[in-house]
Amino acid sequence: MSTESMSPAEGPLSGYLVVDLSRALAGPHAGMMLADLGARVIKVENPGTGDDTRGWGPPFVGPDDDPQATYFLSCNRNKESIALDLKSDDGRSVLRELIGRADVVIENFRPGVLDRLGFPAAKMHALNPALVILSITGFGHDGPESWRSGYDQILQGEAGLMSLTGSGPDDPQRVGVPIADLLSGMYGAFGTLAALLQRERTGQGQIVRTSLLAALIGVHAFQGTRATVAGETPKAQGNHHPSIAPYGLFHCRQGRVQISVGSEKLWTTFASAFGIDAALPEFATNADRVRNREKVIEEVERVFSDIDAEPLLAKLNEAGIPAGKVRTLDEVYAWEQVRSQGLVIDVDHRILGNVSLPGPPLRFFSTSDTAETTLKAHTAPPLLDQDGEQIRQWLGLAPAGRTGKGASNGAVNGAANPGEEH
């Protein structure tokens, strides 16, 4: 079920074909993760307007007559684009050919939408029994509320994450990135790889399902077991850890730092370095410090109050206390440590020219000589239908009667857009 890419790629998934029918962020992020691993990912978009995120802005960059949304650029690197109207005979014909050759299909339509377009899972598996289908929804594929449209901030609230985030219990806040979308994409990619691995043993594909709701509950971690086991209802409490103290953001002279004193040994070292009596009854154990968190914060900020941030960080590092600053994103992408990890990549965009993008978070090395084998050749997110004619030629199909134009800032209309994001 593999395919040769138009431009030979390295990476663990080199030779695999992914057909990405998804829009917005959850599915596209999963597809981008697979593309980063070397898979050939063909993104299927609505003619004329394309993925919803092509119109999500500002910011837009590039010429006024063909502006590019930075949102779209964030989740579509290393992909090809073909514009297909899935309600037309031509669009369905091309999609059938792609499904027949694919290893993976990604979709994030609401339940039932793909069936109404003529591509239920049973039909896709009839076309290709080895196909792995990744399906992402908002609230799950079944159950009493599976019909609901799923958007990130709605799910951050519904799945309890906002109740844990903010300055206090009366200040629920969303996470600063669409974390439900991103996590469901990550879980989806993880499940897809597991299904491909199982296919090696059975020869059969399967359906992988996840949702924004499932992804957020999947990362409740210790806050979840506080609720299910201890019977507590966790609440937001700002920038301090609910179970460890001192652990969080502390103010110093002309700045702030973050510290993590995660063991009794570290606490003794920290207290000694800054002249705090570690044996005081309210500070004696981590449990004592958590119960007396306000006193701990007051004492730590007292000893920090006459030290500027940079000298304080140096002193903390010298003492072996985990510590750090709060960086802005421009500082992050200029940070040499970030660049040394390949977390900024340069790509050549057909309209924008050379641009820098956040890079993939995985690296690979040979076990024989530790030489890095990470995929280094990256391509820019495609223009709408940029690769349509080449893909049709590869499939042995006639050219389209008409091809999509460059990205539009308008919303996708009801005729072209078969359903909500999840």
The mean of the pLDDT values for the chain is: 91
Do the Cβ atoms of 209 and 48 come closer than 8 Å? no
pLDDT tier, 2 (very low <50, low <70, confident <90, very high otherwise): very low
CA–CA gap between residue 88 and residue 139 (Å, rounded): 30
3-state DSSP call for residue 299? Answer: helix
151 in the same domain as 180:
yes
CA–CA gap between residue 30 and residue 188 (Å, rounded): 6
113 in the same domain as 165:
yes
31 in the same domain as 157:
yes
* Residue 36, both tokens: 């980063």
In this predicted model, what pLDDT tens digit does every residue of 390-406 receive, in sequence order? 999 999 998 887 444 43
Given the residues 181, 306, 330, 346, select the one marked as catalytic. 181
CA–CA gap between residue 220 and residue 403 (Å, rounded): 45
In this predicted model, what pLDDT tens digit does every residue of 236-282 receive, in sequence order? 999 999 999 999 999 999 999 999 999 999 999 999 999 999 989 99
pLDDT tier, 370 (very low <50, low <70, confident <90, very high otherwise): confident
CATH number of the structural domain spanning residue 56 = 3.40.50.10540
The answer to whether residue 417 sits within a structural domain is no
157 in the same domain as 32:
yes
Q: What DSSP assignment string belongs to 201-217?
A: HHS---EEEEEHHHHHH
Beta bridge partners of 187: none
pLDDT tier, 368 (very low <50, low <70, confident <90, very high otherwise): confident
214 in the same domain as 347:
yes
Structural domain boundaries enclosing 287: 262-321
344 in the same domain as 307:
no
Beta-carbon neighbour count of residue 289 at 10 Å?
24
One-letter amino acid identity for 390? Q
* Strands 255-260 vs 60-61: parallel, antiparallel or unpaired: unpaired
171 in the same domain as 39:
yes
Please state the domain count of the chain. 2
Q: Over pLDDT 90: what percentage of the chain?
A: 86
66 in the same domain as 182:
yes
190 in the same domain as 313:
no
pLDDT tier, 112 (very low <50, low <70, confident <90, very high otherwise): confident
pTM over 0.75: yes
98 in the same domain as 56:
yes
The answer to whether residue 366 sits within a structural domain is yes
181 assigned to active site: yes
The answer to whether residue 360 sits within a structural domain is yes
In this predicted model, what pLDDT tens digit does every residue of 17-37 receive, in sequence order? 999 999 999 999 999 999 999
